[in-house]
Amino acid sequence: MKMNKLLCVLAGAFALSCGAAQANNMENDEYNGWFNGSGPVDHTVSEIKEDAAPFQLVELDGNLVRGIAGETYVFQDKTGEVVVNIPDEVFVGQVVNANTPVKIQGEVRPDMAQPDTVDVYTLDVVD
């Protein structure tokens, strides 16, 4: 019984020390404007092409200007264009054309054939 208590205390102390170390690292890291743990961060296409890390969560405002094939589209904002992959279920019945302003949230995906591709998880028509 004493051994179980000792193991529980040691495991708890270890977990707390790991959490404290992680929090300390997060405080000391310089925030560079990308994902800070709270959700996708609003960016432009040019920022994604210049600075985005693979698997970076992003939010973009603009238009789907054309379809390429299947679930692959070209998204455009005031700074440029990027290829996006949008599964059909993300549209949730929303009708979108090249003139429809949308807000998309997704993840920058490294793709050998098409660098700076964004996998879209949510799409909202902006009124």
pLDDT, tens digit, 9 for 90 and up, residues 12-55: 655 555 554 444 444 444 344 444 455 666 789 999 888 888 88
Q: What is the pLDDT of residue 6?
A: 53
Q: What is the pLDDT of residue 9?
A: 58
CA distance 114 to 116: 7
Report if pTM > 0.75. Answer: no
Q: What is the DSSP string of 15-49?
A: HHHHHHHHHHHHHHSPP-SS--SSS-EE--HHHHH
Q: What is the pLDDT of residue 113?
A: 73
Q: Decide if 101 contacts 60 (C-beta within 8 A).
A: no
pLDDT tens digits along 52-94: 888 889 999 999 999 999 999 999 999 999 999 999 999 988 9
Pick among 3.60.20.10, 2.40.50.200, 3.20.20.70, 2.40.37.10: CATH of 41-125? 2.40.50.200
Per domain, the residue ranges of the chain are 1-30, 41-125
Q: What is the pLDDT of residue 116?
A: 81
